[in-house]
Amino acid sequence: MGSGVLKRGELVVPGDKVAVIEEFEPKYGFYEDLGVVRASIVGYPIFDMDKRIVYIEKTLSKNSIPRPGDDVYCIAYEVSDKIAFAHIIKVIGRPKVFQPPFTGVIHISRLKKAKVNSIREIVKLGDHLYASIISRRNNVYHLTISGPEFGVILARCPYCGLLLEKKDQNLVCSKCNIVEQRKISKYYGNFKIV
Ligand SMILES: [Zn+2]
């Protein structure tokens, strides 16, 4: 049995509501929150009208792999003092997301200007990042987040999970009244550029 009728929706950003659970079951890139189906990453939703599922449009094409010089949207999945690992979800300006994602690393030596002792001070697990590819070695992409456009573009409150809001050079949770430090991109919260 192949795919049924597919409908492509408008660009979604994390937290956007696309359906209720009675209409579509969330697959890759979506989750259920109190009966509502919301996006967890940036991308274009594909609604499978027969299977009643929704997922982010993905690319399996080897022709569209990221290259040094590309700016990418990624999500940190492991952060230690000296190195952070991120899943590269897509190249900025190209619609499709990589499934499975590529692996990117950020090394602390690339963050001299940030003057930090540990990457954990400026990037945390689950942060969404706008980064640039410096090089590719052994199938791993080396990334930088130096420069005003690069850095964290979405982070969640560690206590309640709400999206943090940018206030001056900090991120704050309006519910818990906490302040979090990050290397913030000037595009924080602006997913239309992704
Ligand atoms: Zn909170």
> Ligand 1 centre and the CA of 183: distance in Å?
19
In a domain, 1, yes or no: no
Q: Could you give the number of structural domains in the chain?
A: 2
C-alpha span between 101 and 86 (Å, rounded): 9
CA of 179 to the centre of ligand 1 (A): 10
The range of the structural domain enclosing residue 17 comes to: 6-56
Residue ranges in the chain assigned as alpha helix (H) = none
H or E element that contains 20: strand 17-20
Å from CA of 100 to ligand 1 middle: 30
Centre of ligand 1 to C-alpha 31, Å, is 19
Question: What is the spatial distance between Cα 85 and Cα 75, in angstroms, rounded to a whole number?
Answer: 8
**What radius of gyration do the chain's Cα atoms show?**
17
CA angle centred on 28, ends 172 and 57, rounded to 5°: 100
- pLDDT tens-place string over residues 136-152: 998 899 999 999 999 99
Looking at the fold, whether 39 and 126 belong to one and the same domain comes out as: no
Indicate the helix (H) or strand (E) that contains 88: strand 83-91
Tell me, in angstroms, the distance from the centre of ligand 1 to residue 36's CA. Answer: 20
**pTM passes above 0.95:** no
Q: Extract the residue ranges of the chain whose pLDDT is less than 70.
A: 1-3, 62-63, 114
